Amino acid sequence: MASTDQDQESLQSQKHYLCGSVAAFANIVITFPIHKALFRQQLFGVQTREAVRQLQRDGLRTLYRGILPPLLQKSSTIAVMFGLYQDFSTLLQLHAPQAPILLTDSIAAVLAGTAEAVLTPFERVQTLLQDPRHHGNFQNTAHIFRLLLQQHGIRELYRGLVPILLRNGPSNVFFFGLRGPIKELLPKAETKAGHSVNDFVCGGILGAGLGVVFYPLNVVKSHAQVQIGGEFQSCRVILANVLRERDGKVSRLFRGVHLNFQRSVFSWGIINATYELLLKML
């Protein structure tokens, strides 16, 4: 009987990883072109129209160039995000039953976000593949991994780790902490379709809002990760350099934020709705 209970708990735990992974996969395939235009804005500080023009000039052949790393990275990180959050939350509540749920869930969210950062190399490679200045330098994902490891070592794969850590933990706390309360504020759903719509809206609102709040960290991350070799600069130095390049105007750090907002509405709406739908189906 004990063995059966353990098997059931293991299956329940695995469900969260699987549902998160499939939800992320669907999201990346749908929203990758939007993300690519956004990356151009973060890197070059151009307007949305110019970023789209650049992609048009590059042509369809390169539109999905660089999709493999985010497919691998997002499928893995979202699986880790949802799965480890559930595992850590259950573990903390089991060993600290007197602790407030808000506290244990927040700690679980931070731990899950920190664990996600292990997969930073996928974000690193994605950044290099999306930068048009490197189109002629790298053939594909495997080529970049091989060159970076051979020429610079494993540390080079983790450029941008600090802004990722600063982003992941706090954003997870807000995402998991506010999902329930926001959904309760929405009109009560009576059908499966209604529940999916509410999950989409809830995920979209949270993802878009958090995307705005943490947008400057993503700008810093992008600038850190396009560099190959040389000194590892701190977030403060990179931020100061970006501000100097953009005439010291903080508002220009948010170039592309409206496109990021729109993309995040769809991305996190798709992820949250698909995740919840799959959980009910399995």
| 97 in a structural domain | yes
| 24 in a structural domain | no
Q: For residues 173 and 188, what is the distance between their CA atoms, to the nearest angstrom? A: 25
| 30 in a structural domain | no
Q: In the structure encoding, which two tokens stand for residue 62, read together?
A: 């390169």
| 191 in a structural domain | yes
Q: In the structure encoding, which two tokens stand for residue 178, read together?
A: 């506010």
Specify the CATH number for the domain of residue 123: 1.50.40.10
CA dihedral over 46, 50, 54, 60, signed as positive or negative:
positive
Q: For residues 206 and 199, what is the distance between their CA atoms, to the nearest angstrom? A: 11
Residues 130-179 have pLDDT tens digits of 777 777 777 788 888 999 999 999 999 999 999 999 999 999 999 999 99
| 219 in a structural domain | yes
Q: Which residue has the tokens 């529940």?
A: 195
Number of domains in the chain: 2
**The domain containing residue 123 runs over which residues?**
48-157
| Residues written for the chain | 282
Both 240 and 148 in one domain: the answer is no
Both 223 and 201 in one domain: the answer is yes
Both 104 and 142 in one domain: the answer is yes
Q: Which residue has the tokens 């593949």?
A: 129
Residues 122-136 have pLDDT tens digits of 888 888 887 777 777
Both 54 and 153 in one domain: the answer is yes
Encode the chain in three state secondary structure. CHHHHHHHHHHHHHHHHHHHHHHHHHHHHHHHHHHHHHHHHHHHCCCHHHHHHHHHHHCHHHCCCCCHHHHHHHHHHHHHHHHHHHHHHHHHHHHCCCCCHHHHHHHHHHHHHHHHHHHHHHHHHHHHHHCHHHCCCCCCHHHHHHHHHHHHCHHHHHCCHHHHHHHHHHHHHHHHHHHHHHHHHCCCCCCHHHHHHHHHHHHHHHHHHHHHHCHHHHHHHHHHHCCCCCCCCCHHHHHHHHHHHCCCCHHHHHCCHHHHHHHHHHHHHHHHHHHHHHHHHC
Contact 121, 158 (CB under 8 A): yes
Cα Rg of the chain, angstroms: 20
Provide the greatest CA pair distance for the chain: 68
> Residue type at 87?
D
| 90 in a structural domain | yes
Q: In the structure encoding, which two tokens stand for residue 37, read together?
A: 């235009």
Both 245 and 178 in one domain: the answer is yes
Residues 208-231 have pLDDT tens digits of 999 999 999 999 999 999 889 888
3-class DSSP assignment, residue 54: helix
Written as tens digits, the pLDDT of the chain (282 aa) is: 545 555 565 666 689 999 999 999 999 888 888 878 877 787 777 788 888 888 888 887 778 887 887 788 789 999 999 999 999 999 999 998 899 999 999 999 999 999 999 999 988 888 888 777 777 777 788 888 999 999 999 999 999 999 999 999 999 999 999 999 999 999 998 899 999 999 999 999 999 999 999 999 999 999 999 889 888 999 999 999 999 988 888 888 888 888 789 889 999 999 999 999 999 887
